[in-house]
């Protein structure tokens, strides 16, 4: 990319913590649903991200990878819930690195937005609050989720941590924790979907506890 005009800093190297990127351009994570039906990286996905890296961005953040099978929202969503996904993810990180870009991976758990038609299990969430409007997610059935126990919450935290380790082993330079769009972390943060009366509900500090413990 040309380093000209009034946006010269945009094309200079920058740091994110200890990570140095070639420029200040970052590709945001956007779901492509190009994993295979078992959540593995496909050649189509690799080609897609390789072309984006070839375009010259400093950092490519790969679309959300599901950290737990019970949190998968779509049939072709990328997964990172087991070591068997590491080789495919390594191949994906490698093709991004080939063009000088850094590679990060978004980690996600869809919580109550994970439909039983995909996971085969009742969805889980901070509270048993049914989703009223599934228009944004045609895979959803609107069944009330099962309220997570303290053990469920501890397991989810460990799944995010294990996923981060797998991303590092696969060669990614960083991870992004998905805390928006009504998914699990967002569900805990919101007083609408989190009606718990324990240390994970009530006050903003308590509703933020899942996120801070994941971090």
| Catalytic (active site) residue 183 | yes
CA 11/CA 3 separation, integer angstroms: 6
Look up tokens 């007083």; give the residue.
191
Burial of 205 (0-12, 13-18, 19+ CB in 10 A): exposed
CA 84/CA 88 separation, integer angstroms: 8
48, 49, 76, 183: the active-site residue? 183
What angle is formed at CA 53 by the lines to CA 34 and CA 45, rounded to 5 degrees?
10
Question: Helices in 59-199 by DSSP H: which ranges?
Answer: 86-97, 116-119, 150-169, 184-189
The β-bridge relationship of strands 102-108 and 59-66 is parallel
Look up tokens 């599934």; give the residue.
134
| Residues forming the active site | 183
């Amino acid at each position: 990319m040309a380093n000209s005009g009034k946006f010269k800093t945009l094309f200079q190297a920058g740091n994110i913590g200890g990570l140095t990127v070639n420029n200040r351009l970052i590709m945001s994570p956007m779901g492509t649903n190009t994993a295979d039906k078992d959540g593995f990286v496909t050649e189509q996905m690799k080609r897609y991200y390789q072309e984006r890296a070839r375009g010259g961005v400093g950092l490519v953040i790969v679309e959300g990878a599901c950290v737990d099978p019970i949190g998968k929202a779509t049939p072709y969503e990328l997964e990172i819930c087991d070591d068997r996904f590491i080789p495919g993810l390594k191949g994906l990180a490698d093709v991004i690195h080939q063009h000088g870009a850094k590679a990060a991976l978004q980690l996600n758990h869809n919580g109550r937005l994970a439909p039983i038609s995909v996971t085969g299990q009742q969805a889980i969430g901070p509270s048993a609050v049914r989703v009223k409007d599934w228009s944004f997610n045609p895979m959803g059935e609107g069944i009330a989720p099962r309220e997570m126990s303290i053990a469920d919450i501890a397991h989810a935290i460990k799944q995010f941590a294990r996923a981060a380790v797998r991303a590092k082993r696969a060669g990614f330079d960083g991870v992004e924790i998905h805390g928006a769009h009504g998914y699990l972390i967002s569900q805990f943060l919101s007083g609408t979907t989190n009606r718990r009366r324990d240390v994970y509900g009530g006050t903003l500090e308590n509703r933020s506890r899942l996120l801070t413990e994941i971090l």
